[in-house]
Amino acid sequence: MKGFNYLSNVATLKISASQCTGCGKCVEVCPHQVFALEDKKAKLINFDACMECGACAKNCPAAALYVDAGVGCAAGLLVEWLRDRRLVGINEKCC
């Protein structure tokens, strides 16, 4: 089953196949099943489902992943959550 997709071809996610060790951490931590292990390497299987949370890059021991965390949907959801709870002002930046 294919997960929820965000905007097409806009995520900043990049993977370096030459650096990937195939540990599978990205597959474990990705909340939207963006990755799969194929031929002992991580592969992007659903790029448009990436919400740019940064969990994959932060947990990659080989530094094979890059994502500009904080610019995508995850940042928007967090800011909205903080504003709803009045933890951040309407015009205030949180991150």
Going by C-alpha positions, the residue among 26, 8, 4 that lies closest to residue 17 is 26
pLDDT tens per residue across span 43-82: 999 998 888 889 999 999 999 999 987 666 666 666 666 7
Place of tokens 């099943």: 33
Query: pTM for the full model?
Result: 0.70
Q: Compute and round to an integer the Cα radius of gyration of the chain.
A: 15
pLDDT at 88: 61
CATH of range 14-84; options 1.10.3260.10, 3.40.50.1010, 3.40.50.11810, 3.30.70.20:
3.30.70.20
C-beta neighbour count of 33 within 10 angstroms: 13
Per-domain boundaries in the chain: 14-84
Residues 10-37: what's their mean pLDDT? 94
Helix (H) or strand (E) holding 82: helix 73-84
Residues 24-30: what's their mean pLDDT? 96
